[in-house]
Amino acid sequence: MSESAEEIRLTAREYEQLRQSAETYREELLVRLCGEVGLRAAEIPRVQPAHVQGHGGEGRTQYFLTVHESDGGTREAYLPPRVAHDFWQYVRSNDIKTEEPVVDVSTRRVQMLVGEVGETAADWTGRPALASVTPSVLRRFFAQQLLAEKGVDPRIVTAIGGWEGVDGLLPQLEDPPRDEVAAAFERLDSGENAIVDSGRLGTLVETLNRVGESLSAAGTREEIEADLCETVVTEGPYDAAWVAERDHHSDGIDVRAHAGAARDRFEGENPTLVRQALQTDRVLVAPDRPQPGVTERGLLAAVPLVHGETSYGALVVRAENRSAFDDPERTALADLGCRVGLSITSTERRQLMLGNTVVRLTLQYSDQSAVLVSLSRTLDCRVELTGVVAAEAHALLCFVTVEGTEPETVLNWVGDADSVDDARLIRNYDDGALLELVIQQDSPALVLTERGGTVTDLSVEDGTATIETEFAPNVGIRPLVDELSRQFPSVELRSKQEVAPTDQSPEGFRESIDEKLTEKQQSVLRAAYHAGYFEWPRGSTAEELAESMDISSPTLHNHLRRAQQKLLGVAFDDE
């Protein structure tokens, strides 16, 4: 007999799997507003930033949400710290005004989005009943966690959740055996759980301090990653650690550093935990199952290593303790990930500025598997890259001129290419056309940019591509070329030069832009420039740009306005 929506009782782990199954920030926010704040589906579309108020002070602000109920009344709900953090991050990133709906959809759409998350979770976990998860099921989970797991006063639960009473919130449970009751009270009397948690968190805090010391001394990204893994294992509460990133050629996991376990732990796999951690900014937790059917050996936590909008992979740590990775521990690990991301960014910028030189690599390749080579060879045309911008979901937004064939022919060809996610014509010229291509795989340019390179030139003629890329002076050339050769066997390194950066003229101007503009603002500004947004008549509209970059139109306008203001400030500010 299958479970109905009302019969589903989510466990804490299943709820975490639901969160991990959300494919967008909006979907995850909906799940959290139901499952951790206790909102009804009909109440979510009414939520505005103005309805959230801070309470307290002296470094610890707590947030309460005024909920506008369907009958016209109101109640106060509590926003846990991590939910409040994600709430405000979503508001800022989408440029939502104070009195605008945070999630501007209908009640029915809220229910559908939650249902879609449940279906994804059902496919992942193999439990079909999760496909029937609704906002009501999540609200019941919210109540059960507070009442049964955390022992919160029922008066508080009913007040913040808008229930008349607790009857019906908890299912009928079997009476526990006497041994279980005695053990529970023995732990309560001895304070065992508090001692274990306090000791674990204290060890982690000391470990983070030692990691901070090693970060300040490291001179390269490789040293940072190696020291990070070694320190959290030898000094911290974990028995294994890996720094991993996604291998886009095989869609597997590439381990860059490790300690306490074999490097090939994730070889040949495509673990959902690690893959999702590389696409989000939160710490994810899952059981450690080295092989299908093998008994769990503890828990894994994947910690994104990020700075701003730049991802440097994820730190994966393993704990034998099944009580590991509670909210305080995940918060500390999230902070560690941000600190490591900042250190890598600072180190690479310092290396780039050292001696005011960069390493310029010139490579050639003719692999038919490389999408632009295949385009040139198949249509007997010349392709030249005029601009490239990092897009969402590990893709490149490429602006290319094509000579020797009709634009319609090119668009028809790329429409059938698996590695091109989208394409559009920007301008027609007498001898060619300017097109925009969203490339997600099968391109050496994508590999080079994801390894920290800046592509300065790329041309393809007669089926042979020549690409120039600039790197920081300490880049490991041989490992980089070896990695490219594994994916594209014909790659040849034609030259390597140390040169003054091409983007530092006039003196100091580019450096000022880098300091003042965020990476997202630079990406949007660069995409707008190459797409002809500033030309008259315009080569692209803001809506077209936003769609190409996989962001909302208000978000693009926000980044564009801020970038233009800062750019004009660099040009016109009086010293």
* φ, ψ of residue 261 in degrees (nearest 5): -160, 170
* pLDDT value, residue 511: 55
* φ, ψ of residue 60 in degrees (nearest 5): -130, 90
Q: Cα(6)–Cα(132) distance, rounded to whole angstroms?
A: 9
Six token digits for residue 144:
């059960």
Six token digits for residue 42:
């009909």
* pLDDT value, residue 77: 93
* pLDDT value, residue 99: 92
- Neighbouring-strand partners of residue 246: 253
Element holding 349 (H helix, E strand): helix 327-353
User: What domains can you pick out in the chain, each with its CATH number?
Assistant: 12-161 (1.10.443.10), 192-350 (3.30.450.40), 357-502 (no CATH), 503-575 (1.10.10)
Q: Cα(280)–Cα(82) distance, rounded to whole angstroms?
A: 14
Q: Cα(248)–Cα(251) distance, rounded to whole angstroms?
A: 5
The amino acid sitting at 327 is D
Question: What is the pLDDT tens value at each position of the chain, 575 positions in all?
Answer: 333 444 578 888 788 888 878 878 889 899 999 999 999 999 999 999 999 988 765 556 788 999 999 888 899 999 988 888 889 888 887 889 999 999 999 999 999 999 999 988 888 777 888 888 999 999 999 998 888 777 787 888 888 998 877 666 665 545 666 665 666 565 555 544 443 444 677 778 778 877 877 776 677 788 889 989 998 998 888 999 999 887 655 666 778 899 988 887 776 555 566 666 666 667 888 777 665 554 556 788 889 888 765 678 889 999 887 778 887 888 888 888 888 888 887 777 666 555 557 788 999 999 988 899 999 999 999 999 988 887 766 678 889 999 999 888 998 898 888 888 888 888 888 788 899 888 887 788 888 887 778 888 999 998 899 999 988 776 778 878 888 888 899 999 999 887 765 544 444 455 556 666 777 788 888 888 888 888 877 778 888 888 888 777 777 887 888 788 777 776 665 44
pLDDT, tens digit (0-9, with 9 covering 90-100), for 143-184: 988 887 777 878 888 889 988 776 666 655 456 666 656 665
Contact 392, 310 (CB under 8 A): no
Tell me which DSSP letter residue 280 carries.
Answer: S
Query: Strand 310-319 relative to strand 299-307: parallel, antiparallel, unpaired?
Result: antiparallel
